Amino acid sequence: MPLVRPIWLVTVTATLLSLPACPRDAPDTLNRATLLDRSQGLEISRTAARQYGYDLANYELDTFGDPVSDDRQTWHFLYRAHPQDGGYGRHFLVVVDRRSHEAEVFPGE
C-alpha cells in the first residue's frame, strides 16, 4: 500500500529544506542582510588591525573624505602613524565589506 501524505506537509517540508542554514557561530546581534554602519565597520577594522599585529596606540584614524566606497559596499579605514612618533609615511588600510562583515588589511610602505 503506498504511503500518502497531505500536500501541505510536503510543501512545508520542501520549503524548510530549501532555506539556507544559519551558521551556529554567527552572533545574534549581526544581521548580515543589512549593511554595516560606520561604527560597526570601524570596530571590525580595529579588530582586524590588532589581529594583523598593529598596535593601534601608535596610529590615528585618517578622517579625510568619506570612508565608504563609491559603490557603497565597503568601508575604507586608513590608519596613519602619529607624526610625533616619526611616523610620516607609516600607514595601513583596512577594507571592510559591509555585507559579509569581512575585513582585509593592506600594509602601507
Digit-coded pLDDT (tens) for 79-108: 998 877 665 668 999 999 999 999 999 998
Could you count the other beta carbons within 10 Å of the beta carbon of residue 36? 22
CA pair distance 100, 73, nearest whole angstrom:
10
The residue among 10 and 56 whose pLDDT is bigger is 56
Burial of 61 (0-12, 13-18, 19+ CB in 10 A): middle
Per-residue pLDDT reduced to its tens digit, 49-81: 999 999 999 999 988 888 888 898 999 999 998
Tell me, what DSSP letter sits at residue 40? H
Beta strand 91-97 with 103-107: parallel, antiparallel or unpaired?
antiparallel
**Overall pTM > 0.85:** no
- Bridge partners (DSSP) of residue 28 are none
